[in-house]
Amino acid sequence: MKKSLLARMGLRQRDLSWAGRELLEVYCCAKAKTSTIDHWLETNPLIDESGNVAPVMRVYLAALNSSVRTLEALLGVMAEMAREDQRFDRALQALAAEGRKVRAENDG
């Protein structure tokens, strides 16, 4: 997931500031959790016969919230880097597209 996002940004991990690397790690970890749970929900019921929501949904909501907040923070770091160096403009655009994708997934 991290390599894919970095490729879309046109960067390598070492191009990021320490804050950018940390935020990227946290974002990708949270995003991986939500993706894994999404795949699990494709073959398992969200609500069981007793009407109880799958316990994994507590983790899902926390990971989803974390991914959204972390992506926003990463956008802020990249915006600052882009102000200082134009080569980060592409990275900023890729993160904005990632944000639109995450919002669309949440709304859908």
What are the pLDDT tens digits along the chain (108 aa)?
899 999 988 889 999 999 999 999 999 999 999 999 999 999 999 999 999 999 999 999 999 999 999 999 999 998 888 888 887 888 888 888 888 888 787 776
Say what the pLDDT of residue 93 is: 86
Say what the pLDDT of residue 108 is: 63
Distance CA 69, CA 59 (A): 15
Asked whether the beta carbons of 2 and 25 are under 8 A apart, the reply is yes
What CA–CA distances, in Å, run from 92 to 9, 34, 103?
7, 23, 17
Distance CA 100, CA 104 (A): 6
Distance CA 107, CA 13 (A): 30
Say what the pLDDT of residue 41 is: 93
